[in-house]
Amino acid sequence: MISISLPRKVFQGVAKRSDMFRLFDRHAKRPDRFDGDQSGTYASEWFEIDETSYSYMLDILPPLWMRGPIFAMREFMTGSVTSVFYVIRIDGAARHFHAYCDLSDPNSVEVMRTAIVTRESQPVRAMSREERLEHIWSTTADDYRGYAGPRWPKPMQGHRTIMLYGGKEGTFLKLLDTLTDDEIAAKLPVYLRHLPSTLAA
């Protein structure tokens, strides 16, 4: 169950177009998808994309609005949450990003931009535990991720689960938030495993 709306990076690296479309709805299989206000599930998620994907999305439909290199999609994901695409110059290079912003908050677009710049301007490349978990969720196929159902204790139901391999014991499900450091390392690609985790969440 996800109900947070703090800016959070959900994918490490630059998402190509196929990755981008998959990341647009990382929560499509959640059991409460059509129940109540889902804004907290999506609002403030962000990830980097390539220039080709940025241009492609700009050309799909006329944007809801465009402010310089920032534009919002006119199709909303849920409630007042929609895709906002950014071109941001960081360390002298133009980079492209997608974020879900809740437009009911007039400051959300600029707050997100500031959060992205702050995160991507870190002098040392690092990943917080939360970013590691989000990357694992984003890159795991639907067949190997899900949500705790009625067989789980009531307090755990609706929380995200991940399939793990237990050697001779075979595969088993575990709550995403309870993965150990070793389990997280095993699920991450090699180039991300040894990054320091000094970055504040």
Average pLDDT, the chain: 88
Tens-place pLDDT, residues 18-47: 999 999 988 888 877 667 677 878 899 999
User: How would you list the strands of the sheet with 70-78, edge to edge?
Assistant: 8-15, 45-49, 93-102, 81-90, 70-78, 65-67
The alpha carbon dihedral of 59, 62, 68, 73 has a sign of negative
Percent of the chain scoring above 90 in pLDDT: 65
Q: Name the strand (E) or helix (H) holding 18.
A: helix 17-24
Asked if 10 and 41 touch (Cβ cutoff 8 Å), the reply is no
Length of the chain: 201
Asked if 61 and 25 touch (Cβ cutoff 8 Å), the reply is no
Tens-place pLDDT, residues 172-182: 889 999 999 99
pLDDT at 201: 43
Asked if 161 and 179 touch (Cβ cutoff 8 Å), the reply is no
Q: Name the strand (E) or helix (H) holding 184.
A: helix 181-187
Can you list the alpha helix ranges (DSSP code H) found in 35-148?
A: 39-42, 51-60, 108-120, 129-139
Global confidence as pTM: 0.87
